Amino acid sequence: GAVVSQHPSRVICKSGTSVKIECRSLDFQATTMFWYRQFPKQSLMLMATSNEGSKATYEQGVEKDKFLINHASLTLSTLTVTSAHPEDSSFYICSARDLRGGIETQYFGPGTRLLVL
């Protein structure tokens, strides 16, 4: 299987600061990456679809100015939580779409736990 990394794995920040999370596909090129968030005891929720070289597509209810997504290369997408507040504390997971061999699948990063104080 393919490998997707996320950095950092855990971050604690003060309210009002911005936090950048990186998602990298290490051994394949991903034209599409996805960002999810998960609140405790709840399922994952898709936040946005990140397409290389174009603007991200956000799900309903997700503020694009709050969660900035940049997919500048075929192996890297970044999610920036701007002016973070305690309610943004969550587990953020990215995935990368893999189309090699004509089979559609997604590989997931290990997640980033964000705690906003």
State the minimum distance, in angstroms, from the CB of residue 75 to other proteins.
18
C-alpha angle 111-112-117 in degrees, rounded to nearest 5: 150
Residues 40-59: x where in contact with other proteins by CB under 8 A, - otherwise, as a string: --xxxxx--x----------
Q: Which two tokens stand for residue 101?
A: 């061999």
Please, what is the minimum distance in Å from the beta carbon of residue 59 to other proteins?
Answer: 9
Position among 16, 71, 108, 114 found at the interface with other proteins (CB under 8 A) = 108
| Strands 76-81 vs 67-73: parallel, antiparallel or unpaired | antiparallel
Provide CB contacts within 8 A for 115, sequence distance 6+. 10, 11, 12, 13, 89
CA 95 to mean position of chain CA atoms: 7
| Degrees, nearest 5: CA angle 95-45-51 | 40
Member of 69, 71, 111, 116 binding other proteins (CB under 8 A): 111
**Position 67 contacts other proteins (CB under 8 A):** no
State which residue, 87 or 104, has the beta carbon closest to other proteins. Answer: 104
Q: Verify binding: residue 110, other proteins, rule CB under 8 A.
A: yes
Positions that interact with other proteins (CB under 8 A): 1, 6, 32, 34, 42-46, 49, 91, 93, 95, 97, 103-111, 113
